[in-house]
Structures are given as structure tokens and as C-alpha cells.
């Protein structure tokens, strides 16, 4: 699902550098850092990519909107499989867009005194 959304690797115009890394390995390393909360510099070498490469690719992917497109693709796939309750999802997203300063304080909702 991710591979078609990844932008193609562009070699540096001045040359040099290292050969392109396996995009799947770099993506896995980036997801590991994002989900584990570890610092980029603590990325385990078992991923087969350097922390600098993973961070650079994360920044490039963020700039081109990969995460938003991936999120949309996952939701679309879950929708096709009928594994998402769109009515509940819509309600949750609508609630998140409310300015928190306009929400009543805890315990001040309907039915409370």
C-alpha cells in the first residue's frame, strides 16, 4: 500500500553520496522511530539504514505530504472492506475541530448539576 505513494529517489545533482537504500527498509525504520519514540540517533542498525538517511527521508516524505496521502489510502481501503464506521469517524473528527476554549469544563455537560 505504501510503495506506490513513495516519491522516487532522486540522486543528488552534484553526485557523490551513497547508493539509494531500499525504500521499504527506510520506511520501516522511520515508522519504528515514530511509533517507539526513540531518538533518530538511537535507530538500531538492524534496519540497514543510517539514522541520517531515515531522518532525511522522513523530512522529504513529510514535505511532499506522504503521511496525509497514506492516511487517506488506509481509510479508503478500510472503507472498501467495510471495516470503518464512517458515521462514528465523522463525529469524532467533528469533535476534534472544536476550539477547546469553547468546550464546557469537565462535569458541566448535559445532565449534570
What global pTM score does this model have?
0.65
Our CA angle for 94, 96, 100, nearest 5°, is 125
Task: Examine the pLDDT at 11 and tell me if it is beyond 50.
Answer: yes
pLDDT at 6: 83
Give the range among 24-33, 36-45, 93-102 with minimum mean pLDDT.
93-102
Q: Is pLDDT at 67 greater than 60 in this prediction?
A: yes
CA neighbor of 44 nearest in space, from 25, 72, 70, 60? 25
- Mean per-residue pLDDT for 19-47? 90
User: Please, what is the average pLDDT of the chain?
Assistant: 79
With a cut of 50, say whether residue 113 has pLDDT above it.
no
Amino acid at each position: 500500500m505504501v510503495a506506490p505513494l513513495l516519491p522516487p529517489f532522486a540522486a543528488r545533482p552534484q553526485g557523490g553520496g551513497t547508493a539509494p537504500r531500499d525504500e521499504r527498509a527506510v520506511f520501516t525504520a522511520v515508522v519504528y522511530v515514530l511509533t517507539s519514540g526513540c531518538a533518530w540517533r538511537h535507530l538500531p542498525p538492524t534496519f540497514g539504514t543510517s539514522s541520517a538517511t531515515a531522518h532525511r527521508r522522513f523530512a522529504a516524505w513529510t514535505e511532499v505530504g506522504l503521511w496525509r496521502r497514506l492516511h487517506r489510502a488506509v481509510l479508503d481501503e478500510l472503507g472498501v472492506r467495510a471495516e470503518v464506521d464512517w458515521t462514528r469517524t465523522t463525529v469524532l473528527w467533528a469533535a476534534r475541530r472544536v476550539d477547546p476554549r469553547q468546550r464546557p469544563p469537565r462535569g458541566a455537560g448535559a445532565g449534570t448539576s
